[in-house]
Amino acid sequence: MYNGDKLWSNGNGLINQCLVILFTGLVLFSCSQYSQKPASIAFHNFSANYNAYYIARANLDSAELGIAQAYKENPNLLLPILIPIDSVAARPFKKNLDEVVKNASIIAEKHQNSKWLDNSYTLLGKARFYLGQWEDGIEALRYVLAKSDDENDKNEALTFLMRGYVEKKEYNNALSVAEYLRQQPLSPGATIDFYLTKAYLHQKTEEYLTAVAILEETLPLLGRSPLKARVHYIAGQLYDLLDKPQAANQHYARVAKNKPHYDLSFFAKMNSLQNRILLNPSAGIEDVGFQKMLKDRKNADLKDKIYFTMGKLAEQKGDYPQALEYFGKAARATGLNTAQVPYTYLEMARIYTDRLMQFEPAKAYFDSAMALMPPKDPSYLQLTERKKFLDQFVAHMTVIRTEDSLQVLAALSSAELNDRVDMIIADQQKARKAAFEKEQAAIAKAKKDDASAASVPASGPRWQLYDPSQISLGKSEFSRKWGNRKLEDNWRRTNKSGGLPDAPDLAAADSLKQDSASAAAGAEFREILKGSDEWLAIHASLIRNVPLTDSAMVASHSRKEDALYNLGKMYWTNLKEPKNAVTTFTRLLKEYPETEFRQEAYYIIYLALPDDDPSRESWKNRLTAEFPNSTYVRLLNTSASGTPDSPAEKVYEKIYSLYTSGRSEEALRELDNTIAIYRDHEMIDRFALLRLFIVGKSEGVKAYKDAILDFMRLYPESKYIPRTKEMLAVAEQAALLPEK
């Protein structure tokens, strides 16, 4: 019997089987990644896009988002237009970036005829950059330029290649890529990326006017977004650097209109208020809106930033005590976020050094700033050098003051000396008592604050390391429990050799309990009675420092003489303060007229005095009369005035040629004239170094050693100082050898 439905069913199944076979055949036929047939290209486009490329793109987006969210910006500093590419910052996202490399490489290996091939190389190049594999990344992006037929893909790769060159500080290569892209027709999105990258390039090269001009062209292309708010803020910062506060305020005003995060809006308003003071110098700092910001509850954890800005404005107005007061409030107002603290201390240190010339408090604030500042901060290395200088400067001042006091004490009779030392101990005890009372007040305040902890604002408690009351409480408790302990391993142990801790001292434990009880009830100041064993021990230790013997007095004067010389050099060389340099060197010569440093003192006093000073010429005459063959005399010899026609490098080569050909006397004569001419040239220390070689070859060991010492005094910042130290060591060894 004919069954039509069954026949239809069988026929339908046959057709389906044929379609499956046909599709399978097409797939197999299309598998070749080198085929240019439409079916093959379609298959590989589909497979690449919805498999490897999709996964690579998603992982790169995730990594870039994570890097951006983790990046910590300080709006007090100039923000980078683009977040810098940093392989260290990208480490938490290495897994994502490795997936990008893996999947982008799959397309290159298995889908050569896919239209996503050049896009995969772009992803590969970006991932390599984030991983710190710069050369591999550059090679991948260059491949896109060489092989891609899609101009948009080329432009995307080249824009990121330009950014890579900027990060590597290969600015000429970056400019070459920028010039090529400038001539290409770019899509709106590509135009934004290109403009931001080029502005970033000019920001890095400190061409701020060009950078902000490019940002002005970029802003109309951006929609209302946090990115646009950030670009407006950076444009305002750049105009501030260009001393255009009015233009800067126009951009700061637009930050709040473009969905910024609160901190950016806050700093935009702060900078705007700061510029209002600059535009209207007669306006009071507290009258332009800062007080309103301080009262705003949203700014409870940002008060330190407000006070910091007020301090900067007071400093600009020349009101340094007011500036220090505001900076002090900024330090005290620090909440959980302590990032501002080192910069506050740094500003206070700068006021003390540059404005008030008070170097001891400056050193204390520099020490605190350096202890808290992140080592990656751009100014960290420079501040490290500044701190070293301040340490040395304060040390020299302390030596001078100490030796002066000790020498005065040494001139007293025995009875007068004992009475004076007793007065010193009494004064020290008064100072200790005042500090103790201040400490107890801080402890009481800390306990009171703890009792009212429930009333602490939502911004959180201050970090204890910045709370003076907590610091005082901690120091007091530590001293009562442990005494004055040296910072070292196993500091709790009496025996530092290791092993089991010592058995507990029951008497000490009882004493500790009593101390703790008295501390809880309110400690009392323990006064040292005059004539007691403790008083007499302190008295004896102070007497020991007084130079009562001839040898001790000689050593005291030697320390003071060296300190005066070094202090004068620092005033002249580092601080550029000729008046203080003259005062210090004049004192050195008055107290130690036969000092070994007098020829350099004459020379610096002559240079430091103004041209119209009537005594100026007398210092030159003294130098010439006492040290006619000195290097300093040759430096003052301007008879060979004028500048040679040939550049300094050619002059150097000429003299060096004379030296190597054995004409040392002629070379030395030419060199002395040249040093006088090129006194302020960047090559002056190189000329002076060549002079050392010539002197060593022609004038013997003593003259060679003296010339080295002159070089080290004249050019203390020279890069050749380590080399001259080695030369000096060799010269000193040679001087010990018996003469032939």
Chain position carrying tokens 């005590």: 321
177 contact partners, CB below 8 Å, separation of at least 6 = 158, 161, 162, 165
For 107-130, write each residue's pLDDT tens digit: 665 545 455 566 777 888 888 888
Task: Show the tokens assigned to 328.
Answer: 């002090």
Domain 380-411+555-625 has CATH 2.60.40: no
Fold of 648-736: 1.25.40
Q: Residue 6 has what pLDDT? A: 41
* Contact status, residue 629 vs residue 702, Cβ threshold 8 Å: no
For 529-580, write each residue's pLDDT tens digit: 888 888 888 888 888 888 888 898 999 999 999 999 988 888 887 777 788 8
* Contact status, residue 589 vs residue 601, Cβ threshold 8 Å: yes
Q: Residue 448 has what pLDDT? A: 63
Q: Which residues of 2-31 are buried (b: 16+ CB within 10 A; e: fewer)?
A: eeeeeeeeeeeeeeeeeeeeeeeeeeeebe
Low-confidence ranges of the chain (pLDDT < 70): 1-53, 106-118, 287, 335-337, 378-379, 382, 442-443, 445-523, 637-647, 673, 676-680, 733-740
Query: Fold identical between 380-411+555-625 and 648-736?
Result: yes
Q: Residue 285 has what pLDDT? A: 76
Task: Calculate the dihedral angle through the C-alpha atoms of 129, 131, 136, 137, rounding to the nearest 10 degrees.
Answer: -20
- Which CATH number fits the domain 284-373, given the four candidates 1.10.1370.10, 1.10.287.110, 1.10.645.10, 1.25.40.10? 1.25.40.10
265-274 CB contacts, 8 Å cutoff, 24+ apart: 265/229, 266/299, 266/302, 266/305, 267/75, 267/76, 267/233, 267/305, 268/232, 268/233, 268/236, 269/293, 270/305, 270/306, 270/309, 271/236, 271/237, 271/240, 272/248, 273/309, 274/309, 274/312, 274/313
**What string of DSSP letters covers 635-704?**
HH--SS-S--SS-HHHHHHHHHHHHHTT-HHHHHHHHHHHHHHTTTSTTHHHHHHHHHHHHHHHSHHHHH
- Break the chain into its structural domains and give their ranges: 4-47, 284-373, 380-411+555-625, 648-736
Q: Answer positive or negative: Cα dihedral of 209, 214, 217, 218.
A: negative
**Cα–Cα distance, 304 to 284 (Å, whole number):** 19
Q: Residue 460 has what pLDDT? A: 41
Q: Residue 51 has what pLDDT? A: 65
Q: In Å, how far are 62, 233, 261, 302, 404 from 76, measured between CA atoms?
A: 29, 11, 15, 12, 45
State the Cα angle at 127 between 159 and 55, rounded to 5°: 110
Residue 538: which of 431, 434, 430, 418 has the closest Cα?
418
> What's the residue count for the chain?
740
**Cα–Cα distance, 569 to 582 (Å, whole number):** 10
Task: Show the tokens assigned to 327.
Answer: 């900076």
Task: Show the tokens assigned to 728.
Answer: 């000096």
